[in-house]
A and B are shown apart, each in its own frame.
Chain A
Amino acid sequence: MRTLLKNCTPVDPKNELPDRADILLEDGQIAKITNSQTGKNNNQNDKTLDLKGAMLLPGLIDMHAHFREPGFEEKETIRTGSEAAAAGGFTTVVVMPNTRPVADNPATIELIKARAAEVPVDVKPLGSITKGSAGNELAEIGFLAQSGVLGLTDDGQPVMNSEVMRRAMEYASDFNLPIISHCEDLKLAAEGVMHEGYYSSILGLKPIPAAAEEIMIARDIALAELTGASLHIAHLSTKRGLEMVLEAINKGIKVTAEVTPHHLTLNDKAVLGYDTATKVNPPLRSEEDRQALQQALKEDEIAVIATDHAPHTIEEKMGTFDSAAFGISGLETAVAVLHEDLISQQKLHWDKLVELMYYNPAEILQLEVEGLKEGTPADLTVFNPKKKWQIDPGKFKSLGKHSPYAGKDCTGKILLTIKEGQIIYDDRGDEAEILY
């Protein structure tokens, strides 16, 4: 069975492509790419989809998501998380190890891989740095490497003991695994619930200073220099943190950083009104921080945009701001929000988005990718830049139905997600469908 995607606008900064292309899919691969104007591709037997100029991207990679399985299946499962990924245009998702039990052992990794084999989206696990992510003893990093984890992190439970972090970096280097660090000085963050600044002061909410993140970024950069390890800073959110990462890169230290769509598009003013959907860690920062992150995207200082998709149950997100869980359900809004607030405003280019959400995460995690190229697996994301819609978390495929973007009007939506030639998400009809 062959499928022909006609009249799409391909986006891929690393491959030479026509402005308007027809893409022929066969046996799960991109069989042929031809110029829509000049090429002849019509075979009566092909299933043909006219994409009418929609953007065609390589299937996006989210290198920071929480699928909660095993242990917290009421929040999300690998199946529901994958559906959310498909609806958001992601064909590969890297999942965090803060499950129950923590993914600090090969058995848990094998379970995640077995569940992942049941869904078409590539779900790839990370392992924890320390046993139980308790920050004391190293996890069996060698066994984790053998079972195929792409990196190591104690996301959400930062390793506070610098000696342990140093040894983890050294040991992980032996297996060529990057350390992904959630940078937060827990003592300084002191049970805070939002960014420290004017808005925390008038809302009376316990503040988290930017310094709580920056101190740990400084520490981890120093340790990366000491050990020569590859360090990836998760969800970077402050201006000073950014400056430190840039300085480290310029010194030749192996450090990369990711930012989230929410830290690029929202600031701490969004917390006025105590909407628990805005409660996230790291917290939504100041407008100055937000602008610095946005500027850094343009200047190639940030390698990756990742969602930090962190679903919770309704009960965990209702109630008062203090009592609500941290986290944003972000897979299904990421691309639309980035398009609405950055690409449409000429603050981000499509080519750049493909680097940030495809080539660079693949490089950091050592995944082999080749972009839109004949003879490679047909993992594709199709985005209709004209579709008008309103974000309604109630309609999310994710079990986490909470978003600070609830009610936001967007122009532009994921139209198709294709995994190895199969359409796994289709929004051409009246109701968006998951097709698996």
Chain B
Amino acid sequence: MLKQRKDFLGLYDVPGEDIKEILTTAQSMKDIFTRSIKKVPTLRGKTVVNLFFEPSTRTKSSFDLAAKRLSADVMSISKKSSSVVKGETLLDTARTMERMGADIVVVRHSHPGAARYLANNLQAAVLNAGDGAHAHPTQGLLDIYTIWEKFGEIKGKKVLIIGDIAHSRVARSNIWGLLNLGAEVRVCGPSTLIPNRLEKTGVKIYNNIDRAIEDVDAINILRIQLERQESGLFPSLREYRFLYGINEERQNNLKEEALVMHPGPMNRGVEIESSVADGRKAVINEQVTNGVAIRMALLYLLAGKEVQHENLA
């Protein structure tokens, strides 16, 4: 099924079976990391273009590295250094890259639906690297992969996402991916940061963090942005930290084997205490490593229509 997709834009319509295929593919990609030569010829002759219209450190470098480890040719365009500043439209920039031979366009943009818009108008495969508050499927998948790697199963696991759900593409991708795999998904945050009618997706909504963390297998702590406080969505970072921040006491109330995740970049001392971020339950650094594997898996699966599987060996 996955190999019939031209694009990969979100996890909303990706069935659990397909997500598992991505996870197992990522697992074999991860094996490559332990080799002395961390590169395979799988995507040799393919061109991947990273179009980043928003600042990004980890996602952009992660895609960059993923494509390079598969031997693809990589071009990276960012907003400041491109003709976007001269008024060129998103589509014209993308078309220019396509006409230079891009097989896969990886796009990050601040507008929801931007990746879909390119997908509808380009022949190249489009991989969504984050579109506004809509979706960030590779982040969702790497979070899911991290849980899957630890527990061997997602179905029936209880996962809690904490913080600014309303403005978070990471939350939306985690929610759909986890639900499609049969997990119980909880979200927790002040009501001002929970979008309207979210319960219709099947998630459970909490406003009390201490109740929300009871009996969960993993928590995923979202970055809280100062501008949300400035626009009146909560009174102060200090109060947010008190009500929703994960400190050592809350960490200790988690199940022994529970995982603490954060998609980064972290505000240490706000949504997560340093002692938790660097503590025994944290898998935040593993998430970063898994991100490269997940992105390799998706690049491979999207380009894979003509790619020989044995190239992976």
A interface residues, Cβ below 8 angstroms from B: 196-198, 200-205, 207, 209, 273-274, 318-323
* In the assembled complex, B312 has its CB within 8 A of some CB on chain A: no
* A198 and B90 contacting across the interface, CB-CB below 8 Å: no
Query: Do B134 and A320 touch across chains, with their CB atoms under 8 A apart?
Result: no
Contact of A201 among B90, B117, B196 (CB under 8 A): B196
**Is B254 close to A, CB under 8 A?**
no
Q: Does A203 lie within 8 Å of B196, measured CB to CB?
A: no
Whether B264 sits at the interface, judged by CB under 8 Å, is: no
How many A-B residue pairs have C-beta atoms within 8 angstroms? Tell me. 63
A201, B169: Cα distance in complex, Å: 11
Asked if A196 meets B196 with Cβ closer than 8 Å, knowing A203-B134, A204-B169, the reply is: yes
For this complex, 12 residue pairs linking A to B, each with C-beta atoms less than 8 Å apart, are: A201-B201, A204-B132, A204-B172, A205-B112, A205-B113, A205-B133, A207-B195, A274-B113, A274-B117, A318-B91, A319-B90, A320-B111
Contact yes or no, B134 A204, CB < 8 A: yes
C-alpha spacing A208/B238, complex, angstroms: 29
Contact B196 A322 (CB under 8 A): no
CB distance from B170 to the nearest CB of A (A): 11
> Given that A204-B172, A320-B111, A321-B111 are contacting pairs, would A198 and B135 also be in contact in the complex, using a CB cutoff of 8 Å?
no
Residues in chain B near residue A318, CB distance under 8 A: 89, 91
Shortest distance in angstroms between A215's beta carbon and chain B's nearest beta carbon? 17
Cβ distance A326 to chain B, nearest Cβ, rounded Å: 15
In the bound complex, CA of A200 to CA of B166 (Å): 10
Interface of A is mostly: loop
Looking at the assembled complex, report how far the CB atom of B52 sits from the nearest CB atom of chain A, in whole angstroms. 15
> How long is the Cα–Cα vector from A285 to B12 in the complex, in angstroms?
22
Which residues in B have their C-beta under 8 angstroms from that of A320? 90, 109, 111-114, 117
A207 touches B196 (CB 8 A): yes
Within 8 Å by CB of B89, from A198, A200, A319, A322, lies: A319
CA distance A135 to B240 in the complex (A): 38
B135 surroundings in chain A (CB, below 8 A): 204
CB distance from A300 to the nearest CB of B (A): 32
Assembled-state Cα–Cα distance A321/B109 (Å): 12
**Residues on the B chain within 8 Å of A202, using CB:** 12, 172, 201
B197 within 8 Å of A (CB atoms): yes
Query: Residue A203 contacts which of B109, B113, B201 (CB distance < 8 angstroms)?
Result: B113
**A319 surroundings in chain B (CB, below 8 A):** 89-91, 117
What are the 8 tightest A-B residue pairs by CB atom distance, in nearest-first order? A274-B113, A204-B133, A204-B134, A201-B195, A320-B111, A204-B112, A198-B197, A322-B111
CA distance A399 to B196 in the complex (A): 37
- Find B200's partner among A198, A207, A273 (CB 8 Å cutoff): A198
B122 within 8 A of A: no
- B interface bracket (residues with beta carbon within 8 Å of A): 20 to 34
B90 touching A322, Cβ below 8 Å? no
- Contacts A204-B134, A204-B169; A321 near B112 (Cβ below 8 A): yes
Assess whether B241 is interfacial by the CB under 8 Å rule: no
Which chain B residue shows the least CB distance to A320? B111
Q: What are the residues of chain A within 8 A of B95 when measuring CB–CB? A: none
Residue in contact with B198 in the complex, picked from A201, A209, A321, CB distance below 8 Å: A201
Q: Does B116 contact A (CB under 8 A)?
A: yes
Cα separation A274 to B172 with both chains bound (whole Å): 16
Closest B residue to A194 using CB positions? B112
1/0 per position for B184-199, CB-CB distance to A under 8 A?
A: 0000000000011110
A274 to chain B: which residues have CB within 8 Å?
A: 112-113, 116-117
Most buried by A among B91, B135, B172, B195: B195
CB-based contact B117/A197 at 8 Å: no
Residues from chain A with a CB closer than 8 A to the CB of B109 are 320
A200: chain B residues at CB < 8 Å are 195-196
State in angstroms the CA–CA spacing of A196 and B117 once bound together. 22
**Contacts A204-B132, A204-B133, A204-B169; A198 near B196 (Cβ below 8 A):** yes
CB distance from B277 to the nearest CB of A (A): 27
Max count, chain B CB within 10 A of own CB: residue among A200, A320, A322: A320
Asked if residues B113 and A323 are in contact (CB atoms below 8 Å), the reply is no
Contact in complex: B196, A197 (CB < 8 Å): yes
CA separation between A323 and B114, bound complex, in Å? 10
CA of A207 to CA of B166, assembled, Å: 10
With A201-B195, A204-B169 known, 19 other A-B pairs at CB within 8 A are: A197-B197, A198-B200, A200-B195, A201-B166, A201-B196, A201-B201, A203-B134, A204-B132, A204-B133, A205-B133, A273-B116, A274-B116, A274-B117, A318-B89, A318-B91, A320-B90, A321-B112, A322-B113, A322-B132
Chain A residues whose C-beta falls within 8 Å of the C-beta of B197 in the assembled complex:
197-198, 201
Residues on the A chain within 8 Å of B133, using CB: 204-205
| Among B112, B114, B134, residue most surrounded by chain A Cβ atoms (within 10 Å) | B112
Nearest-Cβ distance from residue A357 to partner chain B, whole angstroms: 34
Residue of A nearest to B89 (CB): A319
Q: Least Cβ distance of B178 to chain A in Å?
A: 15
Chain B residues within an 8 Å CB radius of A205: 112-113, 132-134
Question: Is B198's CB under 8 angstroms from A203's CB?
Answer: no
Contacts of B110 in A (CB 8 A): 322
How near does chain A come to B110, taking the closest CB pair, in angstroms? 8
Q: How far is the CB of B269 from chain A (nearest CB, A)?
A: 28
Closest to B121 in A: A318
CA distance A198 to B196 in the complex (A): 6
